[in-house]
Amino acid sequence: MAAPSHYILGNNLMRGLAEKGHDVTVISPFTEKNPPKNGSYRDIVLKGFKEEHEDRMKTLNVFDMGEASMLLMGPFFATMMVDLAERTLSQPNVQELIYSDEKFDVVIVEQFMNEAHKGFAKHFNAPLIVFSTIGASSWVNPLVGNPTAVSYASEPLRGFPTNMTLYERYLNAFTYSYFQLINYVYAFPQQDKLLKKYFPNNMNLTDVMYNVSLVLLNSHPSTNLAVPYVPNMIDIGGFHVKPPKKLPDDLKQFLDNSKEGVIYFSLGSNVKSVFLPEQKREAILNAFSKLKLKVLWKWEDDVLPGQPPNVRLGKWLPQQDVLAHPNVKLFITHGGLLSTIETIYHGVPVLAIPIAADQNLNAERIVNQGFGLKLRFADLTEELLLQTINELLTNSKYATNAKKRSEVFHDRMAKPLDTAVYWVEYVIRHGGAPHLRIAGIDLSWYQYFLLDVILIFSVTSVIVLYISLKLIKRLVSSCCRSKKQKIKTN
């Protein structure tokens, strides 16, 4: 994925391994400009991916994606990921790597509907580690036989609360089944073709896909819903967050001098504020102009039409360092997972305005955990935005809950990046750590869900019921005949 947020996570994980002395090879659309001093860090750059992604984001109206039909989103993601998977494998530098005689101790693959990429592990005869950028979900659970709690864990693209209504549970179950259907009917067969086309030795997708030694999850109980894990699923959520650094002088002066407080507003690295529909932009500006607080806005242009005097702009802002400043009282965000994790780390209340993808789900968790509120982009008006901001600023429960959530985040036995490095090295030390693998992953789907047992039980029950009814009928019939004979005799 050429999205910067995906690269931030992958790059931090690979840098962490290199800084521990490992030799790291990274396939991605980006180049590491400041490679680590320890070990080695080699980039294999996917040419054209970044430029095409930036062009697509300019023409794609992401602000309408949140209202898109789930029936369309499934095929959209499946076809897009098959295309990206093939374009990755077909790049000359990637093919050169595949047909080289290089050796690797472990292969780490980001999990996002790109099953063919797991062929690298089989090809290099190395243990496979899967990295999930969104935590445990139906997108990663089947790889290691982890249960998917459809009844209370929302599908990533749905964004339902924990306590779903009957209708929401119905939609959640439908979405889960629909995406599984797309996988088995279209995505998996296409990924299998890519596997056979771009790797030698005629690999089989089923053997490659379920050969996962470990799953690293960008999640933690402080940021995600508590769900069951099998032994080879490990939380490392927050591993990308760094201790705050010194702010640029002008930005530090602005924050220091804003004694009344600052609201930080950013729609992330993918969604550009500059592309906001004019009506929504004016509603936001009008609401900000009525605030006593200063506003720091990540705005990707030199000019913001109608900019109020209390609003300061920045094309790029050091988000983690800004959130660490004590004068920042509220973070208005699109609800991306990285932004959500960073605000929890620093204990800042949140107003989430989700746009698309998993942002609705993250926004619901923010509301459920009590340290922020959610405002649908389609519902955004000047009045509603101002009302929601004032509620978050004047009701102390949000700031209190944000601090409590931050305490849970920091209360760990080890730093999350150290945890990630430990488990990667653990898998290497123990030859893929097969002892962590559950037996259920070797069962077929009907065995795993006990459908064969249920069938036998059902058939047996029907037979027993049938025989019992026959016996009862005979017994009743026999009793009736006995009574008739007795009456005749009398």
- pLDDT tens sequence across 163-212: 889 999 999 999 999 999 999 999 999 999 999 999 998 889 988 999 99
Share of the chain above pLDDT 70, in %: 96
Which pLDDT does position 392 carry in this prediction?
94
**Band of pLDDT at residue 433, cut at 50, 70 and 90:** very high
Which pLDDT does position 60 carry in this prediction?
64
**Band of pLDDT at residue 414, cut at 50, 70 and 90:** very high
Which pLDDT does position 243 carry in this prediction?
87
pLDDT at 295 over 80: yes
Which pLDDT does position 140 carry in this prediction?
92
**Band of pLDDT at residue 379, cut at 50, 70 and 90:** confident
Which pLDDT does position 173 carry in this prediction?
92
pLDDT at 483 over 70: no
Mean pLDDT of 339-364: 89
pLDDT at 490 over 80: no
Mean pLDDT lowest for which of 67-81, 315-329, 332-346, 447-461?
67-81
249-410 and 68-239+415-445 share a CATH fold: yes
**Band of pLDDT at residue 300, cut at 50, 70 and 90:** confident
How confident is the model over 438-469, as pLDDT tens digits? 988 888 878 888 899 999 999 999 999 999 99
Which pLDDT does position 58 carry in this prediction?
65
Which pLDDT does position 441 carry in this prediction?
86
pLDDT at 268 over 90: no
Which pLDDT does position 422 carry in this prediction?
96
Q: Burial-class residue 84 by CB neighbours within 10 Å (0-12, 13-18, 19+).
A: buried
Angle of the 337-346 helix axis to the 359-368 helix axis, nearest 10: 30
**Band of pLDDT at residue 59, cut at 50, 70 and 90:** low
Mean pLDDT of 226-243: 92
Strands 128-132 and 107-110: parallel
pLDDT at 31 over 80: yes
How confident is the model over 150-168, as pLDDT tens digits? 988 888 888 788 888 999 9
The conformational region for residue 205 under phi > 0 = left, psi -120 to 50 = alpha, else beta, is alpha
Which pLDDT does position 372 carry in this prediction?
93
How confident is the model over 66-98, as pLDDT tens digits? 566 777 888 888 898 999 999 999 999 999 999
Mean pLDDT score across all residues of the chain: 88
pLDDT at 331 over 90: yes
Put simply, whether the predicted model's pTM sits higher than 0.85 gets the answer yes
How confident is the model over 98-116, as pLDDT tens digits? 999 899 999 999 998 899 9
Mean pLDDT of 379-393: 91
Mean pLDDT of 359-367: 87
Mean pLDDT of 407-419: 93
Which pLDDT does position 57 carry in this prediction?
66
Residues contacting 277, CB < 8 A, separation 6+ = 63
For the chain, the domains span 68-239+415-445, 249-410, 450-489
Cα 21 to Cα 442: distance, rounded to the nearest angstrom: 35
What is the CATH code of the structural domain delimited by 68-239+415-445? 3.40.50
249-410 classified as CATH 3.40.50.2000: yes
